[in-house]
Amino acid sequence: MKKLINDVDSALSESLDGFAAAHADIVSLGEQRQFVRRRQLKPGKVALISGGGSGHEPLHAGFVGHGMLDAACPGQVFTSPTPDQMLAAAQSVDGGAGVLFIVKNYSGDMMNFEMAAELCRAEGSDVESVVVDDDVAVQDSLYTAGRRGVGATVLMEKIAGAAAEERRPLKEVADICREVNANARSMGMALTSCTVPAAGTPTFELGDDEIEMGVGIHGEPGRERMKMKQASEIVDMMATAIVDDLPFNKGDQVLAFVNGMGGTPLIELYVVFNELNKLLTGRGITISRNLIGSYITSLEMAGCSITLLKLSEDFTKLWDAPVNTAGLRWGV
Amino acid sequence: MKKLINDVDSALSESLDGFAAAHADIVSLGEQRQFVRRRQLKPGKVALISGGGSGHEPLHAGFVGHGMLDAACPGQVFTSPTPDQMLAAAQSVDGGAGVLFIVKNYSGDMMNFEMAAELCRAEGSDVESVVVDDDVAVQDSLYTAGRRGVGATVLMEKIAGAAAEERRPLKEVADICREVNANARSMGMALTSCTVPAAGTPTFELGDDEIEMGVGIHGEPGRERMKMKQASEIVDMMATAIVDDLPFNKGDQVLAFVNGMGGTPLIELYVVFNELNKLLTGRGITISRNLIGSYITSLEMAGCSITLLKLSEDFTKLWDAPVNTAGLRWGV
């Protein structure tokens, strides 16, 4: 295992210290690095909190800041954060307008965020939780009952974050999240595995001519292990599964998110976007917004995922609203 | 070789098509994909043009737009673009205030940009060329007489781009570039090689416990092949070489750019930044601006580079100025 770290046990802490130092104008670290929060809170705004295992950077800490999250709770690599992290984050950023937990559908995250919500309510906070489960690849998975939460998380954090900045109330921001989840679908694939530092060996093995179609963001098995294919065939498989699932229909306007898994360069992601654009155009679906890059990653895994979100006028306006985070920045 | 492409010969064209489609609000493609240019030109502004081999994305096409370049000429992967590409780009974006070529110091680029400058002058254009050669790793290299041009290119394109937006004249913008180059130093290292699509096999071989210290962005040999080390030792070697070369001194304000080579995840780049921050703080050097991410890459190579730029008041102001490109965006 070759990684730019000092040692396995301190890697996350040191990475968080580097992150907090680099973006000190936007964020600060909670005590014992339990959470990353905005340096400046907005009075009267619903507080958005997410979190999950580390190794998916920039998700989630990279999305803390104006227009997105108020706090993010990082667990160890691919391991859920604990309920006391979420409670501490909520106590730090709840300005009285309530707290919204954005939870990816993995058993550990679900359990711990639920416990945190109970703890917060016991302290008198108004708390709502929303679940992301946009991955169409498989029905149940290694760490998930039902569908896994993947790329839609990024879009949900941006869109709900903008709604919260407009001072929309907790119930409405939660409903927007559920609407994003209901209108988004994703699927991923891997060219290579990744290596969790604490494990020291690749999470799974792939042959030199093999890909994992429908892989999860922790390297969970997908639909099928298959021989390497051209980008056009790979995109066709993923996009068809996504489009048919919702379904997306002729005349729809979508946000197309082509995500790199961490080890795939931009030159390839744009080939994927080009194929996706042709395929959707052929079906009468218009990509009116896009996001291309590595935003929800799996350490150094090579591969990509596609997320499509059906856009309403409100979603589009909220997507376009200013954002100032380490990972996404525009309009400010 | 596993890559998300359809075939080796069409990969660059398809990637450029995807890029142009995704960012059609900012850029358009020249005929036969000779160059990527801004959709909207600014009258009376010096036209900034760069280019070079592809495979370093987002450099250079990802830096075309408000506040940075007016056009970028993409060569095949790790291969210089041709003089007629640069001439066509210059003819397309020169609004009469002159053209500035930003050239990384590689023999092919140097020769072709020089030829292009002559062709442009023959057509009556006012042309200046500036060279980037910030890599302290080795004196001469595989494709370079003198030092290689690496990370400072990104900073130069941003800072000179902002100066051009202020309608500063050609001579002054060129001098700013030379001043950026004179005050910037870089060094890189690789954990893995990369594979040029047309070659189909890794550019070089590295053992499971080896790194290449001082690697070039095309996989050129560095100072030393050595055993894998902790991040703190790796950063110490690179930063010491950089700091001692200029030299950077106690009391200096710097922009610290921690760049991913393409296959290295953010979680590791922030560990590197954390080490760099500690080391510079110990020497009395203050990081007052930073950039962390994969901005000048070598396909899927794992590794990183560090660039330091001594900041003047003018450089800081120009760095902070609004930018709207696919690769860097803030303030708009």
Chain A nearest CA to B209, separation (Å): 7
From the list B254, B305, B259, B303, the residue with the least C-alpha distance to B280 is: B254
- Can you tell me the distance from the alpha carbon of A111 to that of A54, in angstroms, rounded to the nearest whole number? 17
Catalytic residue (one of B23, B60, B66, B218) = B218
Q: Which of B113, B15, B93 is nearest to B61 (CA)?
A: B15
Q: Between chains, do B267 and A304 touch, taking CB under 8 Å as contact?
A: no
CB contact (8 A) between residue A302 and residue B269: no
Assess contact for A263 and A298: CB atoms under 8 A.
no
Give the distance from CA A272 to its chain's centroid: 19
Reported in sequence order, the residue ranges of B41-88 that DSSP labels E, i.e. its strands, are 47-54, 71-77
Collapse the DSSP code of B185 into the 3-class scheme (helix H, G, I; strand E, B; otherwise coil) and give the result.
strand
Q: Which helix (H) or strand (E) holds B182?
A: helix B170-182
pTM of the model: 0.98
| CA of A232 vs chain B CAs: smallest distance (Å) | 6
Q: Which of B271, B319, B323 is best to mutate for the A interface (most A CBs within 10 A)? A: B271
Residue with tokens 């800490």: A61
Output the pLDDT for position B148. 98
- ipTM, 2 decimals? 0.98
- Cβ pair B266:A58 closer than 8 A: yes
What residue ranges do the domains of chain A occupy? 11-183, 184-321
Find the closest chain A residue to B23 by CA distance. Answer: A290
What's the pLDDT at A175? 98
B60 as an active site residue: the answer is no
Same fold, A11-183 and A184-321: no
Does residue A270 belong to the interface with chain B, where contact is any CB pair within 8 Å? yes
Distance, CA of A132 to CA of A160 (rounded, Å): 13
- Check pLDDT > 90 for residue A147: yes
Residue B15 touches chain A, beta carbons under 8 Å: yes
Residue A312 DSSP code: P
Nearest to B59 by CA among B130, B129, B157: B157
Amino acid B46: pLDDT: 98
Average pLDDT on A169-193 reads: 98
User: Beta-carbon neighbour count of residue B137 at 10 Å?
Assistant: 26
Per residue in B12-61, pLDDT (tens digit) is 999 999 999 999 999 999 999 999 999 999 999 999 999 999 999 999 99
Instruction: Give the CA radius of gyration of chain B.
Output: 19
Q: Is A266 within 8 Å of B58 when comparing Cβ atoms? A: yes
Task: Check CB contact of A3 with chain B, cutoff 8 Å.
Answer: yes
Q: Which residues of A touch B55 (CB under 8 A)?
A: 265, 267
* Cα–Cα distance, A40 to A282 (Å, whole number): 46
CA proximity to A318, closest of A118, A173, A188: A173
Interface test with A, best of B10, B36, B193, B266 (most A CBs within 10 A): B266
Most B CBs within 10 Å: which of A23, A36, A266, as the mutation test of the B interface?
A266
First to last CA, chain B: 40
Spatial distance between the Cα atoms of A290 and A311, rounded to a whole number of angstroms? 11
Model confidence at B319: pLDDT above 90: yes
Q: At what angle do helices B170-182 and B152-165 cross, to 10 degrees?
A: 150
Listed in sequence order, the DSSP H helices in chain A are 11-22, 83-93, 107-122, 152-165, 170-182, 231-245, 266-282, 313-320
Establish, for the pair of chains A and B, how many residue pairs have beta carbons separated by less than 8 Å. 181
At residue A222, what are phi and psi to the nearest 5 degrees?
-105, -145
What pLDDT, in 10s, does the model give residues A20-70? 999 999 999 999 999 999 999 999 999 999 999 999 999 999 999 999 999
Distance from the Cα of B221 to chain A's closest Cα (Å) equals: 19
Candidates 3.40.50.10440, 3.40.47.10, 3.40.50.300, 3.30.450.40; CATH matching A11-183: 3.40.50.10440
Catalytic residues of A: 56, 218
Work out the average pLDDT over A131-142: 96
- Whether the pLDDT of residue A325 is over 90: the answer is yes
Cβ distance B22 to A273 less than 8 Å, yes or no, reads yes
Q: Do B271 and A332 touch (CB under 8 A)?
A: no
Q: B325: which 2 tokens?
A: 């490109």
Position B270 pLDDT exceeds 90: yes
Q: Which of B23, B56, B60, B66 is catalytic?
A: B56
Structure tokens that stand for A183 in this block: 């209108």
CATH number of A184-321: 3.30.1180.20
Average predicted confidence (pLDDT) for chain A = 98
Q: How confident is the model at residue A332 (pLDDT cuts 50, 70, 90)?
A: confident
Q: How close does chain A come to B215, measured CA to CA in Å?
A: 15
